[in-house]
Each structure stands twice: as C-alpha cells, then as structure tokens.
Structure 1
C-alpha cells in the first residue's frame, strides 16, 4: 500500500490546506502535510485576500485552537492564545527568525503588517524539542512575500473603510536567469475608535493608528545546488491607547488630556544559504537579526518616555537526509539577545545554544516520528525536551495519530530583572502534552479531530505577599478540536470548532479562555467573481468573576478579477452589528471595546 496515495472518493475535512501542500514549520524542513503528525494550519495569500483582515491577530482568531485577547482599536496590544496558552508560551517566527520582546517575552502582533505576508503556518502542540524556549502551545511562522519566478510584475493597491481606515501600497517582482527579487512598501492609517469604557477626560477620544511597512526578498541561484536568499521586513507603527491615572495603586480620573501613544519599530532580517549535497541530503544555514523597539509616551515631555529595545542575533545550521521511508535531521541554534531600556535592569543580555535532532520513519501502515533537543541558557542553565508520535493508517485514507511531548517557557527579562519586581531565582515554566487525533486526506479536502491535554507547572506570576515575580501556580488545559475543509465544484467550505477547559491549580477557570469557539466560511467562485461569507462565534469567556458574554458575528465579502492579479473587492465585518467584548480590566473596572459593523473596499492593479 502506498503510504501517501489517498482515494479521491472519500469526503474530507482539513486544516485549511490541500493534501498536496508542503509545510516547513512542523519539522523545520519542507515535507508534505500528509507526512507530519502535527496539527497544522496553513493560510495562503489567497486566504488573506479573501478575509481582508486589517491585522494579524484578527486573522489568526479565525483558526482552530486560537482565541484573541485585544485591548481595543487597530494597533492595540493583542494576546494570541494558542490552545489556551498565552503569547509568551508560543514561538513566533518571521522567515525562520524569532520576533519577540525580551522585556515582556511576547510578540507585537500589531506591528507585523499583513501587507507584507505571503503565507502563515501554525503548528499546535509542544514544539520545544525543535524550537527551544516558549514552545508550550505551538509555533506561528510568518513567511514574507517572495519573488515570483514566473513573471516580472509591478502592482499598486489601496483600501478604504470604516473609521477612516486607509491603506496604500506598491510592489514589484523582478527576475533574471539566476536572480529573483521582490519588494513592497505600504502605509496604513485609521482614526480608530475609543478603545475602552474608561470615562476620564484623557480617554474620551478615538484611538488612532498608523503604520509604514516594507519588505525585500532576493534569491540568487549561485549554482545548480546552491541557493543564497536574503529577506528583510520592517515596520514603524504609532498607536494611541487609553490609560488610567493613578494615586498610588488606585486608578483615578485623569485631570488633563494626555495623548497616550506607543511607537513600535520592528525589523527582521535573514541570510539563508541552501545546499543540495545530493538528491537526498540537504544542508542549510541561516543568520538572522531582529529588533523590537517600543517607546511609550504621554505626548507631552520626551523626558518621561519609556523605551524597551530588544535586539536579537541568531545563527542556525541544519542537515537533513532521507533514505527510503526514513528521514533524519540534526541542527544547532545559537541566539543572543540584548535589551536597551530607560529602565535600569540588573542584566541586559543572555545567550542560548540549542542542539536538536529528529527522526521520521514509516513501515507499512505504521509511522513513527520523534525529536529531542538540549538547550543551554546563560540565564536559566539547561533544559532537555522531547516529542514522540506514532500513527497508523486504518484505511487507505483514514489515520489515527498519537503524540506526547515536553516543552518549556523561559522567564522574560521583566520577570528576572525588572527593578522591584523581577527575581533571578524564577525558573522556566514546564509542560507535558498529550494528543490523540483522527485525520483523513483526499483530493477534495481533509479533516482532523484532535483531543489534547496540556499540564503546565512552575507558572510565573506575581507573588501575592511580595508583589514580585515567582513560580506560583500550575494549569491544566483539556481541549477538543475539529478542522474541516472541502472543495465541491465551485464551492469551498471551511469549518473549525474548539472546546476548551482551562483551569489553574485551584481548579478555577483561567481568564480569557472561551469554552467554545467556532468558525465557518463558504466561498463560491463564479467566473471572475468570488463571493464569500463567514460566521464566527464563541461562548463562555470570563475574566475573574465577570462573564464577557457570548457572541456571533457575520462577515460578507465579494471580489471581482478583471485581469490577471487585478481585483476589486468589498467586505463587511460584523454585518449584524453585534455588541460584544472579549476583554475586561478588573483593576479599572472597564471593558475593551470592539469595532461594531465595519466595511472596507479595496483595489489592486498589476501592470
């Protein structure tokens, strides 16, 4: 029996990718999605155009196992939860290079512009055995726009929508016999809306956002077996936000109109060298640099600004070899991160070295995959993590998969060294995860039903007695996910739903984890027209003793293609104007607002 030939007659339901799709993130090298046991979701550039979302967090919120905790208008801070784990427990990469703030341990999702993205891969489950720290919930990898070798191209695009949302951009693809290049630049702006229900004078305003972003990618085929690639993406964003004034630890109405703002500059660069040693052996090396520079300002006196600038340097070497049904890989990562700040940290630099290996093999209907990694960090010593999975083909197309793995999250610089809060005795969080899944692939689509459990110990929080960082809790997350995707003629159906029970060591529910989420989308292609509608809903989200309410929001969209690549499109989100919230601040007793009904029209023209 051929392990990867599936009957086209079987009805199927997927993780938003076709059976022939190739993924990189699950194994750290390219394999068909059918050959990875992980729960993987792939979003293509076509998906981005169909949903027409304005920010990365909103787009990811449509996916199985993902929920979004927003703090208001476009550009505000967002926490993307993956299988109930927080942003600091998820690895985020751009073209293979991390993108994270050393001070908070989280990624600025608002600073990553969708305009520069070509593809997103999301792997759910423990990934520390491949990626090291912060891989408890999974990994989100963004791939920026790459050169198109099929043709040279120049394009412009623009959008306008509610809250005076406007976006303008331009880009090009250029290729010679051995060199390909692509670049683009975009500006995005909006007046926004009032982010919170805080009623003090300084917060009775709209919270605007503007962003410049750009991307450059160059590939050069040095020889038939050697490829050199360069990628660079950066953005500069300014976001207004609401904030309470304080008398000691008590929030009070602000007596003056303060224009609170955050200026965030992100950049991510990589130099990649790929070498095909033989038909079954591949070597790759990558050098990377990333920056997360955040400045908080009251809009009055720059002397009062606070700055937190992370600069990271990475070097990776990976060797992979396939012999028959056996694939193996070994690699090493070296990461150095530096923190510059207006705050005086006790330590401002740390280095991590990780060595890892993975093995994948199939014998008839059985499959076995495993990975092991050893990390040595200058701040918290050493950690060893591993993942083991097995699979069995019940029929030619129906497969059962079981996996188990360990992972950890590294304490941030704030948790280790922030004055009067950090404690350098804080240890990394540790987790054990188990998953059992059924999945099926066919020519028209795929589906996956997954049940999982994540047990995390040494959770880092604030000690109630000393008000300093400490390992004070544990958590248990139980989840059930169903992903479906099916192509039927001119119709494309996508559906996912997630049930989650996330509790702490006292058996109390964790904040901001909805008990149930669902997303359904239907698209219909009629000649040059594409019509699509989607419904997104959730129930059971709480914050402390406050229930945030259930909701269902309807989206409607249409796109017309009048020539190759050139399109006109329109989108209405929350078409029924549902009044809902997804976040609450118990300290100020205020809610974070959502946008209500919004519209957007867009055009893209290729010369």
Structure 2
C-alpha cells in the first residue's frame, strides 16, 4: 500500500494560481451538484431515494462534503444537527458519536457495510478517516437493531467510499496548506464504462495541531497528527444481472494527545493506528423477481499507545470485525418485496488485559417492504445468537401514509439491544473484581412519529421520538458493573434539504430530554438542544457558503460544559476547465469551546487548496 502513498511537501500555490488565472475558458463547477433526493440503503436494506424511506435519515453527499470543505469524518458528521460528535482535542484524537441521547456505544458505524466496532469499548474509531475517501454518509436516527443487531440502538452511521464512474479516465490531484503548518497532498485515478469501474486513491496529511487538553495536568505542547491512506474500489458487471464489487482501504495515522484528568504536564502520549478494511460483494439475479446477494468483509484497527510518564509504557491492541452475509430478496406480489438473510460476525481483540478475546454472533433476519399509492409499510425481525451472553430477538414495524400531495405521516415502533462490552465483561484488574461476566444486554423500546413535506425543491421532516432503556450497565458501590440502570429520552427532530435557484440549504435540529430515571436527572454528557445550518450560493465559476453549529450545555461528573456556537465558511473558484482553488475557514470567530470535559475544541483554522482534474 505504501507505493500508493505520497508524502506532502510545501507547495508553491501562489505561483500555480497566477499561471492558472491567465486562462479564461468557461467551465462548469467541479463541486458535484446538489442532490435533493440522493439514494439511501441503510434504513431499509434496499436502494431508496431520500424521502421515500420510513426511517429518519440524513444523507451527506460528495457535493455536500466538498462544498463545506470537510477534511475528515468528524468534520463531515459535524455538518449534522442530529448527531453529537465528541472529540478529545484536534485532528486524529479520539472521537465518538451520540444519536438521540443514547450512549456512544449505541451508535453503530459501518464502512462499506462492515462494522468498525471496537469489541473492548463498543465504540467505532472514526477519527482518522479522511473525507477524501468518502462518497457519501448515511445517518439513520433511531433504533435499527432489527436490521443491524448490536450497537444500533441510537442509530446507524454508514460511510460509503468513493468509486470509479462510467466517465472514462479521470485523474485528480489536490494539495493544500493551512494553519498550524497543515499540509496535504492527494491523488486518485478513476476509469470505467457501462460494465466496469475502478478508482485508486492515495493521500497524506499532517498538522502540528494545538494542545488537546485544557487542565493544569495537561501537557501544554501542540498535539499534532499525520496520516497516510490508500484506497481501491472496483466494480464489474459480469453479465446481465450479475455484478461484483471490491473495496480496499488502509489508513495509517499517528496522533499526539493529552490525558488531562491524570498525569503531569510533562507527560506525553502518542497513538499509532493502522486501520484496514476489505469487502467483496456480489449480486446475482436468480430470476426476474429474485436476487441473491452476498458480502464478505473484514475491518481491523491496530493501535500502539506510547506514554512517557512515571507510570508510562507501551500498550498494543488489535481489534477485528469479520462479517459474512448471504441475502435472498425478491418481489412476492405487486409492491411487496421480501428479504431473508443469514449472517456471521466474528469480533476479536488481542488485548492481554481481557480474560476473553473473541465474540461470535450468528444471525437470522427477515423483512418486508410494501409500497403503494397510499403509502408504504416496513417490517423486520432479527435473531442474534452470541457466544458470550446468549440470544436476542428484535423487531421493527413502521409505515407511512400519504395525506395530501407531498405531505405524509410516518411512524415506527421497535425494540433493540446493546451487548456488554468486553471492558464490562472480561477486563482483568488482577486481585480485585472490576468486571462482570454475568451481565445481560441493555435493552430498549423505541417509538417515533413524524410529518414530511416533499416537492421538487424541498424536503422537510419533523419527527417526535421516544425511547426507554432498561438493564443499563452501571457500577455498584464496589465499582463492579451491574444491570441496575434505567434511562429514557424523548424529543423532536427537524430536518430540511432545499434547493432554490443558485441557493441550497441543509438544516437539522434536535430538542430532547435524556434522563437517568433512577436519579431523575439529565444523563451525563448529553445536550438538550443541537442545531446545524448550512447555506450555499453557487454561480458558474464560483461558490460560497457558510455553516452554523450550535451545541447546548452538557452535564458531566465534575462540571457542566457551556453551550457554544461555531461558524464555518468556504469558497471555491474555478480557474480553468481543469483547475479549482478552494478556501475553508473553520471556527471563523475563533470561539473557545469544550466538546468534552478537559479538552479544547478546534480553534480558527484556515486551509487553502488547489485541485487539478482534466476535462475532456
């Protein structure tokens, strides 16, 4: 993979820009066009246009990502007002996602259909995923355990990587420089026809960063990050009704970070993570109505943490998710599609701190989707049989009803489960107990109802939701985890996607009341309100846009973090048919904020880039 990776060098962007401006040929915008109804697959398991699915779904397309100038998966998800991203410092530091006030381990993250779940913590490591490899992101809010099983109680984030197209040979090179000695270089080449497609990409980025921690115990030095990555995506239409797809990726990242709650200001921490993924899939038409699909996937995170301190050392941990799926789907009657699947998920860790290191889950699942002029129905049933805590059955039932032209009523009810992590079950503390192998999965019941308005320029949705959790895992008086907790959440989500002439608008907001039922107080690290707005204006040769992100206060164990609002801005200029200049300013007004207690948010950052992609 290293042969595909380029090492960044300071670039003479000013000289390049002068040479480019001298050319005045007309060109269309290189940023992909705004999509009002992009394709989604996560909420139902089948391709549907946004607005036709029952699940509350947000989609960020390649065009959305490029217009905003997002540089990694964390920045991409920060475009949403229905998912809270918590990051412990700057680029490359640990990040997690909360949806609808659920725990971070209740958000399932998939890349090209394969889970990223860390078996030990239950979280997904998204912080080193560069935006350059992302084609689109689908975020389904609310429980999808009946489709995806464990860790899908709060919602599902699915990242799809970029692919080749039928447009022939399409090379692209981009480079940029920015604040805190940030520099990047990326290159890709795509090719394809009506029957095959190929894209190979690679890149590198590094930054000196800023101090991640903000307590007296945190080392005040800058915590920089560097990453290199390479991807391969291939698709082939072998014959009519028979196709194959291949996805490969490797991300090699090294980040310095702080541990502000523990340690001394002279301590240093560094994590080297190599994240790899591979997925091979196929689809085969058995008849005019029935299709057999399959997927074999593997994702691995290999981490080495080096701590220089009085009690420091080197720790290694490799986690793996290996997925195998076979699914049969077909039309049973007019408008009625049925599907059934078998799955096996093998998860493991090589951590010597855990007395067990592997979990296997065998799955049977089924579902139906019915579409008619009056609306649609969806039903799913899933049975998970797991090696360490037994069985779990979940279901989902939902539907939509068309009230008048463009206006529909949508609702669903479902059950879910989140398994205990290996930290809860099998962590070895030596002479005293700090884990509990008898823990049961946390379970929940979820319900939601919404109104949606859709026409040729606008998609609006308002969703009321509620969830009740039982068997929540919490420490007892001896600091041993037990199934003793209860929690609930209810709230309102608003989302909009709008196009009018040269203007496009993305808007989302969440208003909720996440509560610890036993203590009758707000759950830790949850916000009651969150809003994200993004407006863009595009002309033939330039584009400008800005976004506002507002996060409400969050209560933690030792303090309440204040609310904050961040404004970002971006612009693109088409210099010639082949060259584009871009500029992005994150945190335009340089607001100081804490995304997580003890950690600094990203200060104002300016990034300027240039890209070359020849047009025929």
Q: Calculate the TM-score normalised by the size of structure 2.
A: 0.90
Alpha-carbon distance in structure 1 between the residues aligned to 2:237 and 2:572: 37
Deviations 1:488-542 (A, max 9, x none): 1111122221101111122111122221111111111112111111211122322
Q: 1:28 to 1:367 in 2, by over 3 A?
A: closer
Alpha-carbon distance in structure 1 between the residues aligned to 2:39 and 2:55: 13
Where do 5+ consecutive residues of structure 1 fail to align?
1-15, 246-250, 585-590
Q: 2:607 matched to which residue of 1?
A: 600
**Which residue of the other structure, out of 584, 602, 606, is the alignment partner of 1:571?**
584
Q: After TM superposition, give the deviation of residue 191 of structure 1 in Å.
A: 0.6
Q: After TM superposition, give the deviation of residue 55 of structure 1 in Å.
A: 2.4
Q: 2:482 matched to which residue of 1?
A: 470
Alpha-carbon distance in structure 1 between the residues aligned to 2:155 and 2:564: 27
Q: 1:424 to 1:524 in 2, by over 3 A?
A: same
Q: After TM superposition, give the deviation of residue 19 of structure 1 in Å.
A: 5.4
Q: After TM superposition, give the deviation of residue 481 of structure 1 in Å.
A: 0.7
1:305 corresponds to 2:314: yes
Q: 1:204 matched to which residue of 2?
A: 220
Q: After TM superposition, give the deviation of residue 300 of structure 1 in Å.
A: 8.3
Q: After TM superposition, give the deviation of residue 280 of structure 1 in Å.
A: 3.1
SS in 1 for 2:478: coil
Q: 1:565 to 1:320 in 2, by over 3 A?
A: farther
* Contact 2:36–2:497 (CA under 8 A) maintained in structure 1: no
* Contact 1:17–1:41 (CA under 8 A) maintained in structure 2: no
SS in 1 for 2:80: coil
**Which residue of the other structure, out of 413, 438, 443, is the alignment partner of 1:404?**
413
Q: 2:273 matched to which residue of 1?
A: 264
* Contact 1:512–1:582 (CA under 8 A) maintained in structure 2: no
Q: After TM superposition, give the deviation of residue 18 of structure 1 in Å.
A: 4.9
Alpha-carbon distance in structure 1 between the residues aligned to 2:325 and 2:34: 28
* Contact 1:75–1:209 (CA under 8 A) maintained in structure 2: yes
1:231 corresponds to 2:247: yes
Alpha-carbon distance in structure 1 between the residues aligned to 2:215 and 2:559: 17
* Contact 1:331–1:356 (CA under 8 A) maintained in structure 2: yes
**Which residue of the other structure, out of 328, 346, 368, is the alignment partner of 2:338?**
328
Alpha-carbon distance in structure 1 between the residues aligned to 2:442 and 2:254: 33
Q: CA RMSD in A?
A: 2.0
Q: 1:302 to 1:283 in 2, by over 3 A?
A: farther
1:423 corresponds to 2:436: yes
* Contact 1:318–1:331 (CA under 8 A) maintained in structure 2: yes
Q: Calculate the TM-score normalised by the size of structure 1.
A: 0.91
Alpha-carbon distance in structure 2 between the residues aligned to 1:408 and 1:298: 36
* Contact 1:500–1:513 (CA under 8 A) maintained in structure 2: no
Q: 1:472 to 1:55 in 2, by over 3 A?
A: farther
* Contact 1:313–1:335 (CA under 8 A) maintained in structure 2: yes
Q: 2:496 matched to which residue of 1?
A: 484
Q: 1:567 to 1:379 in 2, by over 3 A?
A: same
Q: After TM superposition, give the deviation of residue 185 of structure 1 in Å.
A: 0.6
Q: After TM superposition, give the deviation of residue 366 of structure 1 in Å.
A: 4.0
Alpha-carbon distance in structure 2 between the residues aligned to 1:582 and 1:22: 32
Alpha-carbon distance in structure 2 between the residues aligned to 1:268 and 1:468: 35
Q: After TM superposition, give the deviation of residue 37 of structure 1 in Å.
A: 0.5
* Contact 1:329–1:357 (CA under 8 A) maintained in structure 2: yes
Alpha-carbon distance in structure 2 between the residues aligned to 1:416 and 1:210: 34
Q: After TM superposition, give the deviation of residue 23 of structure 1 in Å.
A: 1.0
Q: How does 1:38-77 map to 2 (within 5 A)?
A: 38-77=55-94
Q: How many residues align structurally?
A: 576
SS in 1 for 2:127: helix
SS in 2 for 1:59: helix
Q: How does 1:351-362 map to 2 (within 5 A)?
A: 351-362=360-371
Deviations 1:168-218 (A, max 9, x none): 111101236743211101111111101112334x70201111111111011
Alpha-carbon distance in structure 2 between the residues aligned to 1:130 and 1:17: 29
Deviations 1:532-562 (A, max 9, x none): 1121112232223622222222222110123
Q: After TM superposition, give the deviation of residue 126 of structure 1 in Å.
A: 0.8
Q: 2:539 matched to which residue of 1?
A: 526
Q: How does 1:210-249 map to 2 (within 5 A)?
A: 210-243=226-259
Q: After TM superposition, give the deviation of residue 252 of structure 1 in Å.
A: 5.5
Moved more, 447-456 or 173-182: 173-182
Q: After TM superposition, give the deviation of residue 439 of structure 1 in Å.
A: 0.4
Where do 5+ consecutive residues of structure 2 fail to align?
1-32
